[in-house]
């Protein structure tokens, strides 16, 4: 049963992410902020209770851009999968919650950190579900657009298309900035929909900060019954004005004034 009734507010998640990053002196603010709405949409579209219980028939969410761990853990927290105490340990000595997602954290399907790993693993999950006759579960894989420069992504797409893996849905956090600069200045893959269409995936291009639009795209792919990809156009650093579209916020950690300013900006956005 989908968890949409929980009504998680993305900007509240962003505020949680800010607190985690600030307390830990951690980086990756930019890619965390761009992916929040995608993750809120995904966890809202699946049966979170099945994930909590680790049921074999659960839908699987694999976050391949593992550097957005703070966002993943914050969303899991807001969906009731991780306690506040656990979040408080983020990047602390001895914690299981590191700067990249870890399967040591209950509810996380797969550890990622090196890019281009998630989609092949997601393919394995999808083909495994099919092999054992489980038609109801789906596998979602969240990637960054910079990550698409990894060749293994396209190996997996070819495989998924050939095997018509209808239960597998890749989603791209298309924030257009990779590690140190704009993706179109490194390897220009835009428009992404053409690339995916060429590999046999029906592209669904949505506003990546519109939770309902993302969930509608997921439903459309399921109804159509053919391989489809959700390209989520996002803003890196979304919600934190001084960090939006600034590559340095892949690496920079928040000072106290910046933290207060960012929280205030989110509070203002939630008031509007």
Partner 1 sequence: MRGIIMDALFAAMKADERVFFLTADMGINLVERFAESYPSRFLNVGIAEQNLIGISAGLCNLGYRPFAYTISNFLVHRPYEQIRNDVALHGYPVTLLGTSGGFDNAPLGPTHHVVDELGALGALAGIDLYCPSSTNCARELVGRLIERERPAYVRMPKDNFDHPALEGETAYLPGSGRQTLIIGYGATAPACIAVQETNPAVSVLICQRLRPLDEEVVAGALARHDQAIVVEDHLAASGVYGALCRLAMEYQIRCRVRSLAPDNYSLQVGASPRFYQARYRLDKGGIEEMICQP
Sites of contact with partner 1 (CB under 8 A): 56, 60, 103, 109-114, 116-117, 119-132, 151-152, 155-156, 158-159, 162
Considering the complex, state which of residue 70 and residue 125 has its C-beta at the smaller distance from partner 1: 125
Residue entry with tokens 């893959």? 189
Element housing 203 (H / E): strand 202-207
Report, in Å, the least distance between residue 159 CB and partner 1.
6
Pairing of strands 202-207, 168-174: unpaired
d(C-alpha 36, C-alpha 189), whole Å: 23
Report, in Å, the least distance between residue 232 CB and partner 1.
23
Considering the complex, state which of residue 121 and residue 231 has its C-beta at the smaller distance from partner 1: 121
Structure tokens at 237: 């650093």
* 140 contacts 167 by C-beta, under 8 angstroms: no
Considering the complex, state which of residue 74 and residue 122 has its C-beta at the smaller distance from partner 1: 122
Structure tokens at 172: 């791209």
Considering the complex, state which of residue 120 and residue 144 has its C-beta at the smaller distance from partner 1: 120
Report, in Å, the least distance between residue 134 CB and partner 1.
9
d(C-alpha 34, C-alpha 238), whole Å: 5
Report, in Å, the least distance between residue 16 CB and partner 1.
27
Alpha helices in 46-150 (DSSP H): 48-53, 69-78, 84-88, 118-131
Element housing 266 (H / E): helix 256-271
Report, in Å, the least distance between residue 207 CB and partner 1.
30
Considering the complex, state which of residue 94 and residue 151 has its C-beta at the smaller distance from partner 1: 151
């Amino acid at each position: 049963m989908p968890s949409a009734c929980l009504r998680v507010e993305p900007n509240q998640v962003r505020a949680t992410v800010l607190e985690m990053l600030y307390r830990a002196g951690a980086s990756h603010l930019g890619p965390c902020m761009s992916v929040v709405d995608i993750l809120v949409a995904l966890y809202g579209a699946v049966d979170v209770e099945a994930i909590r219980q680790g049921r074999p028939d659960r839908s699987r969410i694999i976050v391949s851009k593992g550097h957005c761990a703070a966002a993943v853990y914050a969303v899991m927290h807001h969906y009731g999968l991780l306690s506040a105490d656990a979040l408080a340990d983020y990047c602390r000595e001895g914690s299981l919650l590191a700067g990249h997602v870890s399967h040591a954290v209950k509810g996380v399907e797969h550890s990622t950190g090196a890019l281009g790993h998630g989609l092949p693993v997601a393919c394995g999950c999808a083909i495994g579900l099919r092999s054992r006759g489980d038609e109801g579960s789906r596998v979602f894989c969240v990637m960054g657009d910079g990550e698409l420069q990894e060749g293994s992504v396209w190996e997996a797409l070819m495989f998924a298309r050939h095997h018509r893996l209808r239960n597998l849905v890749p989603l791209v956090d298309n924030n257009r900035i990779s590690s140190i600069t704009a993706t179109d200045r490194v390897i220009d893959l835009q428009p992404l929909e053409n690339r995916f269409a060429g590999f046999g995936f029906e592209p669904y291009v949505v506003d990546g900060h519109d939770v309902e639009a993302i969930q509608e795209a997921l439903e459309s792919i399921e109804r159509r019954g053919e391989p489809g990809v959700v390209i989520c156009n996002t803003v890196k650093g979304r919600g934190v004005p001084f960090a939006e579209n600034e590559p340095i916020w892949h690496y920079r950690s928040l000072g106290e004034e910046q933290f207060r300013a960012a929280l205030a900006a989110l509070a203002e956005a939630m008031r509007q």
